[in-house]
């Protein structure tokens, strides 16, 4: 019996369940919550509504408990807004004297595209060209991509609505802001490669739905030539027929308009085929004749023609950490490649840029190379003819700290200047400029908003030995006053362990409002660099994919056990957090090692690995995970599929699933099914370790409005703070301050 001051115990709503067991290649595979795959099924609709009510009840408790502290909803959202208040600015895309940037002021819901140009009086003026909020005041339209013409007088941009990422392409006149072309639909994940003059461009578009099977309408991309002012239905198909239906295509045109380069990757496979065509030869842009650069190789290849007329190739062929090669575009095959920058022993080659005299002077004067060494960026300077690194200090560009850079941006018409963005755990992204003529490195642009004040925080990189003896690294971020003189913890603290471990994605040092809010409040935040990512090159990636996927989870467990053993935290104060492929990581962590965690945040996850390829973009990921239609690969998947590893009577940690109903990459059905399975199986008290499902409409897997980002982050942080003891610590500190 309860009184008015005692909250009603949390109770899980019954889920639609059936005794469904399928024979898959001789394996008996249970799927009791299959009905929850159908979001429109009345039983799923009713169950989802009850989950909403359950989560609302839990939220009410947390909000009441935290109301007066720094992790109260209003205070936390305000702090996250402040931490994001600096906004964002990208490196410039130059077109003559015009430059284009993506920029978000601190209070803007979405980034906008801005053009900056001479004002005729010795100064500059700027204009907003594309503002998603003007297109949709509700804030559910996102800007997916943009690309100025080679002369900068036109801008192609792509937008999508409701989180679908189904981009629609438009073209506007930069001088007037008026639309001059589009809309062109079915342009999801499409690059735009302008021809000189701006009368036409190459792009990627899916075939019309009536030309492909109903369950394949999101595949079957082709490269097309579009001429402005004509219907997209009149576009000329120039590449892709007869190739893999899951191919993603890249397309670029050299600055002089002569060379067209097309790349193709089957889904997310770590292999890229590349072709080149001379647009001045017979056939022209409408019927280019392609020559193979690299086709059918087990390697990733990126190619471009420099201003000096040579073909440059960035590849991991025979160099899993990357190398740069060079050849003549008329003889582009592998047998003609000459290595310009060789593979490094421990660093991954990320990007290269050539600087020259500008204008008619196309002779390179500097080769700039960016690397990632154990997740920390380096930039080196090389002789452009030999590839040799400049001697001594002249061969290294000093960066502001131990952080990450993105992009090496040059002017298309050449010159000695280069731009890149830099960030680290406590530094908002800023744009820096390097001038090869003077050797100067300067801060060139900062975000438009106020940079927040932060307490003294320290980041350190730790090394951990995984189950098979592999060294795994992780960044540990904590407040300085919680550490001793050697940088070790004074006492165990509530800790978040974040990971991803897949698709060659690297978790490098980066500014994060959620991370900083957690650490500022007294918690420890850890980012693990697991196998499956790209931190150590392609071999590192492949050591965590397909049949080796368990290595990723073992790496995570090793980091967690290290944090406990070294006194950073305890298992009752440790939370694991991840999204998308990182959601799969969290699902595996919860079902394989429930003893390690007090809580888990599992966002937009993959969790049913037997049926994942039937939904969303799943079929494009079989090279990463394995194909459930192949018996041996089904065994890999069943070995770790979180949905299939739930055991009745297990004391599972508290779990918060966050899903987005507009998600067209990872279907929310995964979270529904595992949430139902865990709620039915766990022996943990729902009031102590609840399993909860947070649903959000009008957004998808990718970009979202600032206010939605803040709201989601606040609720996730409150959940882990509640379940790891951080709220208790904050309450105690507040009480102590009050007594003083």
Rounded Cα distance between 547 and 556, Å, is 17
Cβ atoms 305, 260 nearer than 8 A: no
Write b or e for each residue in 439-476: b if 16 or more Cβ atoms lie within 10 A of its Cβ, otherwise e. eebeebbebbbeebeeeebbbeebebebeeebebbbbb
DSSP 8-class letter at 152: S
Give the C-alpha separation, 318 to 325, whole Å. 12
Which pair of structure tokens corresponds to residue 637?
């998947």
What single string gives the DSSP state of each residue in 527-594? Answer: EEE-TTSSTT-HHHHHTTSGGGTHHHHHHHHHHHHHHHHTTS--GGGEEEEEETHHHHHHHHHHHH-G
Which residues lie closer than 8 Å to 218 by C-beta, 6 or more apart? Answer: 188, 206, 617, 664
Burial 179-200 (b: 16+ CB within 10 A, else e): eebbebebbbbbbbbbbbebeb
Identify the three-state secondary structure at position 65.
Answer: helix
- Among the listed residues 102, 425, 701, 713, the single catalytic one is 701
d(CA 375, CA 423): 12
Given its phi and psi angles, is residue 120 left (phi above 0), alpha (psi -120 to 50 degrees) or beta?
A: left
Strand segments (E) across 151-289: 154-161, 168-173, 179-184, 192-194, 200-206, 221-227, 236-239, 247-253, 259-266, 273-278
- Rounded to the nearest 10°, the torsion over CA 259, 265, 271, 276 is -10
Nearest CA-CA partner of 398 in 377, 426, 367: 377
Tell me whether residue 110 is one of the annotated catalytic residues: no
Give dist(CA 287, CA 731) in Å, integer.
70
Query: Closest by alpha carbon to 265, among 249, 251, 253?
Result: 249
Tokens read off for 350: 């990320």
The one catalytic residue in 406, 421, 514, 580 is 580
| Strand-strand pairing, 236-239 and 93-95 | unpaired
Residue 580: active-site member = yes
Interatomic CA distance for residues 618 and 169, integer angstroms: 25
DSSP character string of 261-278? EEEEEETT-S--EEEEEE
- Tokens 């957090």 belong to 577
Separation in Å, CA 357 to CA 172, 312, 362, 536:
32, 19, 6, 35
Straight-line distance from the first to the last Cα atom of the chain, in angstroms, rounded to the nearest whole number:
38
Q: How far apart are alpha carbons 559 and 476 in whole angstroms?
A: 11
CB 112 within 8 A of CB 100: no
Q: Do residues 616 and 666 touch, judged by C-beta distance below 8 A?
A: yes
The catalytic site residues sit at 580, 701
């Amino acid at each position: 019996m309860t009184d008015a001051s005692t909250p009603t115990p949390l109770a899980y709503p019954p889920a639609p369940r059936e005794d469904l067991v399928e024979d898959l290649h001789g394996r008996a595979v249970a799927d009791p919550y299959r009905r929850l795959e159908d979001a429109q099924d009345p039983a799923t609709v009713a169950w989802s509504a009850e989950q909403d009510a359950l989560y609302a009840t839990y939220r009410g408790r947390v909000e009441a408990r935290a109301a007066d502290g720094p992790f109260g909803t209003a205070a936390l959202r305000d702090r996250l807004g402040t931490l994001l208040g600096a906004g964002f600015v990208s490196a410039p895309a130059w077109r003559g004297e015009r430059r284009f940037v993506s920029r978000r002021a601190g209070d803007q819901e979405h980034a906008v595209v801005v053009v900056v140009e001479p004002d005729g009086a010795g100064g500059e003026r700027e204009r907003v060209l594309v503002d998603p909020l003007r297109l949709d005041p509700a804030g559910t339209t996102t800007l997916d991509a943009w690309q100025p013409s080679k002369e900068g007088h036109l801008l192609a941009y792509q937008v999508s609505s409701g989180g679908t990422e189904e981009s629609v392409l438009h073209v506007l006149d930069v001088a007037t802001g008026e639309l001059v072309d589009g809309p062109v639909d079915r342009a999801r994940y499409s690059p735009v490669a302008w021809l000189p003059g701006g009368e036409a461009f190459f792009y990627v578009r899916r075939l019309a739905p009536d030309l492909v099977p109903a369950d394949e309408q999101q595949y079957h991309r082709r490269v097309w030539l579009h001429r402005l002012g004509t219907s997209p239905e009149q576009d000329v198909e120039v590449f892709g027929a007869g190739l893999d239906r899951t191919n993603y295509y890249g397309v670029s045109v050299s600055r002089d308009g002569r060379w067209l380069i097309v790349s193709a990757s089957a889904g997310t496979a770590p292999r890229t085929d590349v072709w080149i065509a001379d647009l001045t030869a017979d056939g022209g842009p409408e019927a280019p004749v392609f020559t193979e650069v690299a086709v059918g190789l087990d390697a990733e290849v990126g190619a471009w023609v420099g201003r000096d007329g040579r073909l440059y190739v960035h590849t991991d062929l025979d160099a899993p950490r990357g190398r740069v090669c060079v050849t003549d575009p008329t003889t582009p095959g592998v047998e003609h490649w000459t290595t310009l920058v060789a593979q490094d022993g421990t660093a991954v080659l990320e990007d290269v840029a050539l600087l020259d005299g500008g204008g008619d002077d196309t002779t390179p004067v500097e080769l700039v190379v960016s690397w990632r060494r154990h997740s920390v960026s380096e930039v080196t300077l090389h002789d452009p003819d030999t590839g040799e690194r400049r001697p001594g200090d002249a061969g290294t560009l000093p960066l502001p700290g131990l952080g990450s850079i993105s992009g090496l941006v040059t002017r298309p018409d050449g010159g000695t200047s280069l731009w890149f963005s830099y960030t680290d755990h406590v530094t908002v992204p800023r744009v820096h400029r390097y001038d090869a003529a003077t050797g100067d490195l300067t801060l060139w642009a900062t975000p438009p908003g106020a940079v927040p004040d932060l307490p003294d925080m320290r980041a350190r990189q730790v090394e951990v030995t995984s189950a098979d003896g592999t060294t795994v690294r992780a960044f540990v971020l904590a407040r300085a006053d919680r550490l001793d003189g050697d940088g070790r913890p004074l006492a165990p603290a509530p800790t978040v362990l974040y990971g991803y471990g897949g698709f060659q994605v690297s978790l490098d040092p980066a500014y994060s409002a959620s991370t900083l809010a957690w650490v500022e409040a007294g918690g420890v935040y850890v980012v693990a660099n697991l196998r499956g990512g790209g931190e150590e090159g392609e071999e590192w990636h492949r050591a965590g994919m397909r049949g080796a996927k368990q290595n990723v989870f073992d790496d995570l467990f090793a980091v967690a056990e290290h944090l406990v053993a070294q006194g950073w935290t305890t298992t009752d104060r440790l939370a694991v957090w991840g999204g998308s492929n990182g959601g799969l990581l969290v699902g595996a962590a919860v079902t394989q090692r429930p003893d390690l965690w007090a809580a888990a945040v599992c966002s937009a996850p993959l969790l049913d690995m037997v049926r994942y390829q039937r939904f969303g973009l799943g079929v494009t990921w079989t090279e990463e995970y394995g194909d459930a239609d192949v018996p041996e690969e089904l065994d890999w998947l069943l070995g770790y599929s979180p949905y299939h590893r739930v055991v009745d009577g297990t004391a599972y940690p508290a779990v918060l699933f966050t899903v987005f109903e507009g998600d067209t990459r990872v279907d929310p059905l995964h979270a529904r099914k595992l949430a139902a399975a865990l709620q039915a199986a766990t022996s943990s008290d729902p009031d102590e370790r609840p399993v909860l499902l947070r649903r959000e409409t009008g957004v998808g897997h990718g970009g979202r409005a600032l206010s939605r980002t803040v709201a989601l982050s606040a609720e996730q942080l409150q959940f882990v703070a509640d379940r790891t003891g951080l709220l208790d610590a904050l309450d105690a500190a507040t009480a102590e301050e009050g007594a003083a």
